[in-house]
Structure 1
Amino acid sequence: MKFGYSEVCLEHDTGQRHPENPDRLRAIRKTLSRRHGVEYVEADPADESTVTAVHDADYVEEFREFCADGGGNWDPDTVAVEESWDAALESAGLARWSAETALAGEDGRDTPFAIGRPPGHHAVVDDAMGFCFFNNVAVAARYALDSGDADSVAVFDWDVHHGNGTQDIFAEDGDVLYCSLHEDGLYPGTGEIDEVGESDGAGTTLNAPLPAGAGDPEYRTAFDDLVEPAVRSFDPDLILVSAGFDAHRHDPISRMRVSTEGYGMLTARVRDVADETAAALGFVLEGGYSLDTLSDGVAMVHEVFDGRDPVVPEEDADEDVRDLVDEVRASHPIFDGDSD
């Protein structure tokens, strides 16, 4: 794979005790150093006009001034220092690079993966939250649409937390399909089944709030029966994956049971859907707070594109997840009320 990376993202110093810290990228780089075929690309940072295409200009200016004054706690969880402004622009620029590279035709072993930080999918139009300042994947999707390189974009978010920011930014936009598999009831408490989009975006938000303890069989079922048919129906020009690795069974801040092989399974499935629908495909890093499982997860994504065939679970999904899938299929507009 091609990995978008910049040392600038290490300067966003949240402190060693903060789960979202520079060691996340260092661990990824260290693990990838033992893999073949890894290429690093340093992209240009996003400019303010690219960021304000999805964020309120007053908020962006407030964040710039906050960093210029030395930063601090934006909220109890979201920390900035002076260098966080440049890191946030760089992280958004890396996500934009992922979209641009994918749309330029890079795929297979050259598929792009932006490994920037701070992450982005909780950042809403006019505020930072959940470790996120700029919504990187939203910046990338909007740039792809505004540039004319894509007429439609699907965002598949497999982070354990619901991407409330991405959903909110595109809630009324019929050109962006947002699909999320996340842990029910976890921060930020959004992502219910009945959140399906509004106005022109009605039917272009798809949420599957999975119960705590869901693992590879449950994620396989939710992807195969919900995400895949939704993406096929939407037929996007570009698929962007908000790739968090905090649903791993050993991540410290979730109760899910996804394995490293499970992330390989999801990678192979979204790659196949992209291939079969002729959609460009790019990845953007989100969460993941166990350094070992985060770095192994990113490496697994790379290995799938390098030819690895991940293990697919043989077990059936739990009945409560099958019931959830049936409920979504029976009620969501994208399935036309058909639960079959």
Structure 2
Amino acid sequence: MRFGFSETCLAHDPGPRHPESPDRLRAIKRGLAKRHSVSYEGATPATEADAAAVHDPDYVAEIREFCESGGGDWDPDTTASEETWPAALASAGLAKDATRAAVNGAAGRNTPFALGRPPGHHAVYDDAMGFCFLNNAAVAAQYALDDLGADRVAIFDWDVHHGNGTQDIFYDRGDVFYASIHEDGLYPGTGDADEHGEGDGAGATLNAPFPAGSGDADFCAAFDELLEPAITDFDPDVFLVSAGFDAHRHDPISRMHVTTEGYGLLADRVRTLADATDAALAFILEGGYSLDTLADGIGMVHETFDGREPVGPDDDVSDDVRDLLDGIRASHPAF
């Protein structure tokens, strides 16, 4: 894959006990060093205008000034320092660059993956939360629509936490389709199955809130039965993946049972769907807080795009997930 990376993203340090630490990127790079065909490219940082395209301009100015004055605790989970604002712009810039590279033809073994932090999918229109300051995927999607000639963008969020910020920003718009598989009841407590979008965005939001303990077969079934037909019908020009790796069975802050192989299965499905819809495909890093499993998950995605065929799940779809999928298909406007 074509990995985007910036040293600036390492400077954002919310403290020694914070799970979203610079060590996440260091662990990813150590893990990828063991694999072949890995290269890194930098990116131009996003601008305040890029951020204001999806965020309240007053919020953008406020968070910049907060960081420039030394930072502190924005909320109990979200801590900034003076270095956070440049890191947030760099992270959003990496997402923009990955999207531009995909639209310009980077695919297959060169599929772009933006390795930025802080992550973004919890940042709502006018606030930071959940470790996130700027919504990287939203910035990239809006950039594709405004500057890269895209008419429709699909975002698939496989982070274990619901991407409430991404949903919030595009909830009443029909040019961005947002789909999320996440753990039900986990932070931030949003993403119910009946949240479908509103106004022009009615039917353009799809949530699958899974029970704790869901694994590879459950995630694959949700993709096959929900996301694949819905996104095919939406027919995006650009397909972005908000790729968190905290649904892994060994992640410390979730209760899901996805395996490292499971991320290969999801990556393979994403690639197949992007090819089928002729959509430019890019990945954007979100969460993942076990350093080893985060590195292994990204390594598995890389190897899948490098030609490794993932092994199908050993488990069966759980009864609870089967009922959920059937209920979503019966009630969602996309079906």
Q: Is the shorter-chain TM-score for this pair beyond 0.5, marking a shared fold? A: yes
Distance 2:63 2:296 in 1: 33
**Counterpart in 1 of 2:125?**
125
Where do residues 239-318 of structure 1 align in structure 2 (5 Å cutoff)? 239-318=239-318
Q: Would you identify which runs of 4 or more consecutive aligned residues in structure 1 move more than 2 Å?
A: none
**Counterpart in 2 of 1:334?**
334
Distance 1:219 1:103 in 2: 27
Deviation by residue 1:52-73 (Cα, 9 ceiling, x = unmatched): 0000111011111101110000
C-alpha deviation, 1:175, in angstroms: 0.5
C-alpha deviation, 1:34, in angstroms: 1.0
Q: Aligned to 1:294, what secondary structure does the other structure show? A: helix
Deviation by residue 1:121-179 (Cα, 9 ceiling, x = unmatched): 00000000000000000000000001142110000000000000000100011000000
Distance 1:311 1:185 in 2: 30
C-alpha deviation, 1:15, in angstroms: 1.3
Give 2:27's aligned amino acid: A
Q: Aligned to 2:179, what secondary structure does the other structure show? A: strand
**Counterpart in 2 of 1:33?**
33
Distance 1:21 1:171 in 2: 30
Deviation by residue 1:210-243 (Cα, 9 ceiling, x = unmatched): 0000001111111110111111110100100000
Moved more, 233-242 or 307-316: 307-316
**Counterpart in 1 of 2:147?**
147
Moved more, 13-22 or 240-249: 13-22
Distance 1:306 1:9 in 2: 26
Where do residues 54-203 of structure 1 align in structure 2 (5 Å cutoff)? 54-203=54-203
User: Does the 8 Å CA contact 2:54/2:138 hold for their aligned counterparts?
Assistant: yes
Deviation by residue 1:285-325 (Cα, 9 ceiling, x = unmatched): 00000000000001111000100111111432011101100
Give 1:149's aligned amino acid: G
Gaps of 5+ in 1: 336-340
Tell whether 2:229 aligns with 1:229: yes
Change beyond 3 A, Cα 1:4–1:231: same
User: Does the 8 Å CA contact 2:261/2:310 hold for their aligned counterparts?
Assistant: yes
**Counterpart in 2 of 1:338?**
none
Q: Aligned to 1:322, what secondary structure does the other structure show? A: helix
Deviation by residue 1:252-279 (Cα, 9 ceiling, x = unmatched): 0000000000000000001000011111
Q: Taking structure 1 as the reference length, what is the TM-score of the superposition?
A: 0.98
User: Does the 8 Å CA contact 2:153/2:240 hold for their aligned counterparts?
Assistant: yes
Distance 1:30 1:295 in 2: 8
User: Does the 8 Å CA contact 2:100/2:148 hold for their aligned counterparts?
Assistant: no
User: Does the 8 Å CA contact 2:103/2:148 hold for their aligned counterparts?
Assistant: no
Distance 1:68 1:118 in 2: 16
Gaps of 5+ in 2: none
Give 1:2's aligned amino acid: R
Q: Taking structure 2 as the reference length, what is the TM-score of the superposition?
A: 0.99
Q: Aligned to 1:181, what secondary structure does the other structure show? A: strand
Distance 1:314 1:183 in 2: 21
Give 1:288's aligned amino acid: G
Deviation by residue 1:86-119 (Cα, 9 ceiling, x = unmatched): 0000000000111111100110010000000000
Root-mean-square deviation (CA, aligned residues, Å) is: 0.6
Tell whether 2:217 aligns with 1:217: yes
Distance 2:121 2:250 in 1: 22
Q: Number of paired residues?
A: 335
**Counterpart in 1 of 2:46?**
46
Give 1:217's aligned amino acid: A
Q: Aligned to 2:150, what secondary structure does the other structure show? A: coil
Distance 2:309 2:280 in 1: 21
